C-alpha cells in the first residue's frame, strides 16, 4: 500500500490546458474516483500518475517521495513506479493463453517458474477464473476478459491500482456484478486505487471518496453522500443524480425588512440574514432533488399547482415530470393513479432546499435534511 499526493499538477498539450493546478491526497488503501464528463482531464491525470505523461508543473509523490516533479526534473518510468493500470480495452494478448497473459508481467521481471506458477494460480482462484487458464482470449466473454486483465495487474502485487473505465465494455447486467466484485477485491487486497469514469453510479457505488472534475479542474472532493447531499455548485447538483436536481432561477427581494428569494411562482424566505451576504448578485438558483418533492392530488397551505406531463414507471418507483408554470419539475412518487394532463399539487420541504448563487454557481446553503443524511450515511 502507498499514500499518494498530487500537488499543483498541470499538463498542457500545446496551447490546450488538459489539467490545471490539481491537488488531492489519498490515504493508504483508499478507493478514489475521478469523475467527470468527457474531456475534463481525468484520464490525463491518471496517465500522469502512471508515468505515461510528463507534466508541465507540479509534482506527484508516493509516500512523500516524488516520482514526478516538474521543478526538480524528476520523471520516474512507469515500470519503476510499481503501479498497475487496467484499461477500458483490457489490452490482453490474443495469442497467449489466460495463464500466459496473467504470468507475463512476472516473466518480464524474471520470476522463478515455481513462484510464477504459484502466484498465477493463486490470483486466478481469487478471481474465480482457475478453469480458464488454458483458454485463449477469443474463447472468453467480456466479463471473463475483464477478470483476466485484473488478474494480470493483481499478480504483480502493485503499490497502486489505476483503472481507466475498465467496465465500460461490459453489458449492463454483468457490470453490476463486476462492480461489486471489484469493490470487494480492492478491500480484500487493501491496495490504494484510483478509478476514472464518466458514470456517476460507478463512482458512487465504488469509491470511498470522489473528485468531480470539469474543464481540467477539480470542483469538489468528498464522500458519495457529501457530494450528493451537499453539492458545491450548480454543475455538481446537475451532474450528480438521476435525474439531476431540479433548478429554478430567481432573484432576491426585500419586503418589510425580510429578504426573500423570489422565483415567480413562489417565494423562499432567507431566515438566516448571513446568507444574503454570501450572494455576489441579486440572482439566485433554487435546487431540490426529485425525491424530496411531495406530490399530492389535493392542495395544502404551501403547495403549488402543476400539470402532469410525462410519467415514467420503472416498476420500483415512478418518476413524474410536471409543468409548473413554464418550468418542468421532476419528482418521484408512489402514486400509480396519476394521469397525464391532470393537475397535482407539489410541495417543497424547506429542509430539502439548496440555494446557489446564480452568477458564480457556488452553493450558498444546503437544507438541514441533507446535512443530517450526509452525516448518517
Q: pTM for the full model? A: 0.86
Least confident of 112-126, 166-180, 189-203: 166-180
Q: Is 294-347 assigned to CATH 2.60.120.10?
A: no
Is there a contact between 368 and 376 (Cβ–Cβ < 8 Å)? no
Q: Is the pLDDT of residue 3 over 50?
A: yes
Q: What is the CATH number of domain 4-229?
A: 3.40.50.300
Q: Do domains 4-229 and 294-347 have the same CATH topology?
A: no
Rounded Cα distance between 120 and 45, Å, is 30
**112 φ, ψ to 5°?**
-60, 150
All residues at 6 or more sequence positions from 176 whose CB lies less than 8 Å from its CB, including other chains:
none
| Distances in whole angstroms, Cα of residue 280 to Cα of each of 28, 200, 263 | 40, 30, 18
Lowest-confidence range among 4-13, 163-172, 184-193?
A: 163-172
pLDDT at 30 over 90: yes
What is the torsional sign of CA 20, 166, 124, 139? negative
Torsion sign over Cα 198, 216, 164, 227: negative
Judged against a pLDDT cut of 90, whether residue 227 lies above it is answered with yes
Model pLDDT, residue 374:
43
Who has greater pLDDT, 368 or 246?
Answer: 246
Question: Into which CATH architecture does domain 244-287+350-377 fall?
Answer: Beta Barrel (2.40)
CA 226/CA 101 separation, integer angstroms: 40
Output the pLDDT for position 276. Answer: 58
More reliable by pLDDT, 156 or 290: 290
The pLDDT value recorded for residue 171 is 76
Mean pLDDT over 83-98 rounds to 85
Q: Is residue 272 predicted with pLDDT exceeding 50? A: yes
Which range among 46-60, 200-214, 232-246, 353-367 shows the weakest confidence by mean pLDDT? Answer: 353-367
Higher pLDDT, 24 or 86: 24
- Domain chopping of the chain, boundaries: 4-229, 244-287+350-377, 294-347
- Rounded CA Rg of the chain: 25
Interatomic CA distance for residues 322 and 305, integer angstroms:
10
What band does 377 get if pLDDT is binned at 50, 70 and 90?
A: very low
What does the alpha-carbon distance between residue 160 and residue 243 come to, in Å, rounded to a whole number? Answer: 34
Region 87-99: mean pLDDT is: 85
Q: Is residue 18 a contact partner of residue 44, using CB atoms and an 8 Å limit?
A: yes
- The rounded distance, in Å, linking the Cα atoms of 335 and 356 is 31
| Least confident window among 92-106, 109-123, 146-160, 336-350 | 146-160
d(CA 83, CA 51) in angstroms, rounded, equals 9
If you average pLDDT over residues 15-19, what whole number do you get?
95
pLDDT, tens only, 122-178: 999 888 899 999 999 999 988 888 889 888 988 888 889 999 988 877 777 778 888
The reported pLDDT for the residue numbered 241 is 92
342-369 pLDDT tens trace: 999 999 888 888 989 888 999 988 875 5
pLDDT of residue 375: 41
Helix (H) or strand (E) holding 323: strand 318-324
Amino acid at each position: 500500500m502507498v499514500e499518494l499526493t498530487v500537488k499543483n499538477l498541470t499538463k498542457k498539450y500545446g496551447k490546450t490546458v488538459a489539467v490545471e493546478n490539481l491537488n488531492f491526497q489519498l490515504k493508504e488503501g483508499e478507493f478514489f474516483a475521478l469523475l467527470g464528463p468527457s474531456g475534463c482531464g481525468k484520464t490525463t491525470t491518471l496517465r500522469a500518475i502512471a508515468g505515461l505523461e510528463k507534466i508541465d508543473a507540479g509534482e506527484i509523490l508516493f509516500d512523500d517521495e516524488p516520482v514526478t516533479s516538474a521543478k526538480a526534473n524528476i520523471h520516474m518510468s512507469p515500470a519503476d513506479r510499481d503501479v498497475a493500470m487496467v484499461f477500458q480495452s483490457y489490452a490482453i494478448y490474443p495469442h497467449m493463453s489466460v495463464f500466459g497473459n496473467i504470468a507475463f508481467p512476472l516473466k518480464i521481471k524474471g520470476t522463478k517458474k515455481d513462484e510464477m506458477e504459484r502466484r498465477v494460480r493463486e490470483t486466478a482462484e481469487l478471481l474465480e477464473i482457475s478453469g480458464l487458464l488454458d483458454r485463449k482470449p477469443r474463447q472468453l466473454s467480456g466479463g471473463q476478459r475483464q477478470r483476466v486483465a485484473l488478474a494480470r495487474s493483481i499478480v504483480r502485487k502493485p503499490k497502486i491500482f489505476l483503472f481507466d473505465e475498465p467496465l465500460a465494455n461490459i453489458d449492463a447486467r454483468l457490470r453490476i456484478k463486476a462492480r461489486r466484485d471489484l469493490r470487494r477485491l480492492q478491500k480484500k487486497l487493501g491496495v490504494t486505487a484510483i478509478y476514472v469514469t464518466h458514470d456517476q453510479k460507478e463512482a458512487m457505488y465504488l469509491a470511498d471518496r470522489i473528485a468531480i472534475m470539469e474543464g481540467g479542474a477539480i470542483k469538489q472532493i468528498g464522500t458519495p453522500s457529501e457530494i450528493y447531499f451537499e453539492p458545491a455548485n450548480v454543475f455538481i447538483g446537475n451532474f450528480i443524480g438521476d435525474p439531476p436536481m431540479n433548478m429554478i432561477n430567481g432573484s432576491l427581494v426585500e419586503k418589510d425588512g425580510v429578504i426573500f428569494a423570489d422565483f415567480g411562482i413562489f417565494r423562499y424566505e432567507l431566515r438566516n440574514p448571513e446568507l444574503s451576504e454570501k450572494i455576489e448578485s441579486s440572482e439566485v438558483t433554487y435546487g431540490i432533488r426529485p425525491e424530496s418533492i411531495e406530490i399530492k392530488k389535493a392542495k395544502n397551505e404551501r403547495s403549488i399547482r402543476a400539470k402532469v406531463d410525462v410519467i415514467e414507471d420503472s416498476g420500483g418507483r415512478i418518476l413524474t415530470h410536471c409543468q409548473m408554470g413554464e418550468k418542468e419539475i421532476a419528482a418521484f412518487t408512489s402514486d400509480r393513479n396519476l394521469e397525464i394532463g391532470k393537475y397535482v399539487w407539489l410541495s417543497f420541504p424547506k429542509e430539502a432546499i439548496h440555494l446557489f448563487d446564480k452568477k458564480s454557481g457556488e452553493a450558498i446553503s444546503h437544507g438541514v435534511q441533507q446535512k443530517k443524511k450526509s452525516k448518517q450515511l
